[in-house]
Amino acid sequence: MALDGTDDPTEEHEPKRGGRPSLPAAPTGPPPAAPAEVKAEVKAEAKAGPVPRGQVAGKEKVQPYITTAVAEAARNAVVATTPYEGGYQSLSDLIEDAIVEKVAKLQRTFNEGNPFPERPRRRIRTGRPPGR
């Protein structure tokens, strides 16, 4: 069954005998570049100085809630692709790439491909949305 809950008739349900299932060949070129704005922000944050213990330079810890099925699928993807060129070495790398791709798509769809305006400096509402 696919992650979206549908059965895909072309999906293999059992690995072929003789080893683990093979993955399609990864592209040999460099990974797709993140939008220029994101790269500039990362460079600026990296130059900020010494990093406190337990933090990573240029990175911010974000803790969203996602469904267990999506979390497991992401973890499985990282473990399965780690040995391959172009695969992911960490869950953080996979999530960051996914967010960059989605934000770029949202910018194309809703803002003529331009970056969204900066929001007021306040926290985004958390918790259960009203009316649910």
Cβ contacts of 15 within 8 Å, gap of 6 or more? 21
For residue 39, tell me if it sits in a domain: no
The boundaries of the domain holding residue 79 are: 64-116
pLDDT single digits (tens) 14-50? 333 333 444 455 444 444 455 556 555 555 555 667 8
* Whole-number Cα distances in Å, 116 to 99, 101, 104, 105: 14, 14, 10, 12
What pLDDT, on the 0 to 100 scale, is given for residue 16? 37
For residue 84, tell me if it sits in a domain: yes
- How many Å apart are CA 81 and CA 87, to the nearest integer? 4
For residue 75, tell me if it sits in a domain: yes
HSE, side-chain direction, 13 A CA sphere, residue 119: 5
For residue 11, tell me if it sits in a domain: no
What pLDDT, on the 0 to 100 scale, is given for residue 55? 83
- How many Å apart are CA 86 and CA 25, to the nearest integer? 9
* Locus of tokens 């949202």: 106
For residue 46, tell me if it sits in a domain: no
What pLDDT, on the 0 to 100 scale, is given for residue 23? 47
Average pLDDT over residues 56-71: 92
- How many Å apart are CA 116 and CA 114, to the nearest integer? 6
Give the count of domains, the chain.
1
For residue 16, tell me if it sits in a domain: no
